[in-house]
Structure 1
């Protein structure tokens, strides 16, 4: 079991450690980040994932702009570490990881929400996510990104649905993903000028996000910005 050498020695910290140790005895687990025994996420990996609350410099956040000009903001760049934690959360259904993952997303989410509100003259946008695909929803029994959003105190709206189920695109390049997703999402009801902040876990090529932006635009809505936990590449 790993311990962070920087953990604060306070009664609250000791109580947290004791509770985690007791839970680990009842429900054995390994750290989703490094594989250490007894913890869902050890202290060292928690520190790698979640930036200190006192760290108020947003220079570490990742900014980009989609082809249509929609601004994007991610909490970090994607790497094997964050990929392993997300895999444990989404595929292995280790839902206890929602807390540290939401905490990792929070700085980017709060800033993106603030910037979107400013762009709208002080009015907050609706928070939305890309709908889960039918098979993923059935297999997991929960929507991973919606759970992150709810953990951050927001209630996601659901303006989109899948008009068809695209092929698994994990091994596709950008061009193949664009072709695979073209026309796959639709807004079943007119959105009447509603404005949205779109939340994702990982933005890879941007094809899925781009399809969601297109579908909401075609439905009469507008995506003010995109925010993600991690972004692949530049």
Structure 2
């Protein structure tokens, strides 16, 4: 039987082919586990990821390994986000939502849609993954970028396939000088290169130094980033009429991502999707 006739076919061409194939492997395994109770289904999901990893090793076209030097224990504690997830904010949906149709949104996104069109995250930001993310952000662990790039490509395969260009969430120049690099840019640049998409490094700019968002409430974060982002004249020409994929490291309240999405859409972007390395576990809160 030809490989393309089977239920799990590996696409033969295209930069996203390995990740589309892995998605097909996992989808087929989920279908077979659909009638299992919740705990057994979660176990089947973990088994499915292991099987997919064996069938399609974590090595990209440049020969980069996806292990990132993580121990088996550290790897097992990371909660990777898989379908079903909310199409609007990327939050994981409950086990009893397995039969939801594609594009389903959580109650928070239904009641108050975010400024970005869709969102996906590679894993949950919690006590088990926080240190891993902060190693990149504050400890200059750029050696983790190849692994993170692979994870982002898997989580965002549909968003990457639909986009025209990738844009990182920018840092203010003063903070960039102190930190020496922008972690969002370090994620977006290799992701764009590996996916054969345009990378717009400077189209979106942080025009006001907002300071840290840590410790602020949701409304406080929204006020903190109000009018903090803008698009340069050259950037406006680059994003006009194009489908933009915004890239960042962490999604918490979504205030920063929404401010960026508004600025890009005001500059003429056709759509703005969001891809982050990690997001908090909870979905968007219902508006009060």
> Does TM, normalized by the shorter one, top 0.5?
yes
Please tell me whether residue 197 in structure 1 is matched to residue 245 in structure 2.
yes
CA-based RMSD of the aligned residues comes to: 2.8
1:100 pairs, out of 129, 147, 171, with 147
The Cα shift of 1:136 comes to 3.2
Please tell me whether residue 80 in structure 1 is matched to residue 123 in structure 2.
no
1:59 pairs, out of 57, 60, 83, with 83
Three-state SS of the structure 2 residue aligned to 1:201 is strand
Please tell me whether residue 89 in structure 1 is matched to residue 136 in structure 2.
yes
Alignment TM-score, normalising by the size of structure 1? 0.69
Please tell me whether residue 219 in structure 1 is matched to residue 267 in structure 2.
yes
The Cα shift of 1:176 comes to 0.6
Please tell me whether residue 41 in structure 1 is matched to residue 65 in structure 2.
no
The Cα shift of 1:140 comes to 2.6
Give the aligned partner of residue 145 of structure 1.
184
The Cα shift of 1:127 comes to 0.8
Q: Distance in 2 between matches of 1:149 and 1:47?
A: 26
* 5+ long unaligned stretches in structure 1: 1-5, 9-38, 52-56, 118-123
Give the aligned partner of residue 182 of structure 1.
226
The Cα shift of 1:111 comes to 2.4
- Equivalent residues of 1:75, 1:230 under 8 A apart: yes
Please list, as runs of the form range in 1=range in 2, the aligned pairs for 1:150-161 lying within 5 A after superposition: 150-152=189-191, 153-154=194-195, 156-157=199-200, 158-161=202-205
Three-state SS of the structure 2 residue aligned to 1:80 is coil
- Equivalent residues of 2:118, 2:273 under 8 A apart: yes
Q: Distance in 2 between matches of 1:79 and 1:85?
A: 10
Give the aligned partner of residue 16 of structure 1.
none
Alignment TM-score, normalising by the size of structure 2? 0.57
Q: Distance in 2 between matches of 1:99 and 1:222?
A: 29
Q: Distance in 1 between matches of 2:211 and 2:179?
A: 18
Moved more, 73-82 or 61-70: 61-70
Please tell me whether residue 170 in structure 1 is matched to residue 214 in structure 2.
yes
Three-state SS of the structure 2 residue aligned to 1:177 is helix
- Equivalent residues of 1:169, 1:177 under 8 A apart: yes
- Equivalent residues of 1:203, 1:231 under 8 A apart: yes
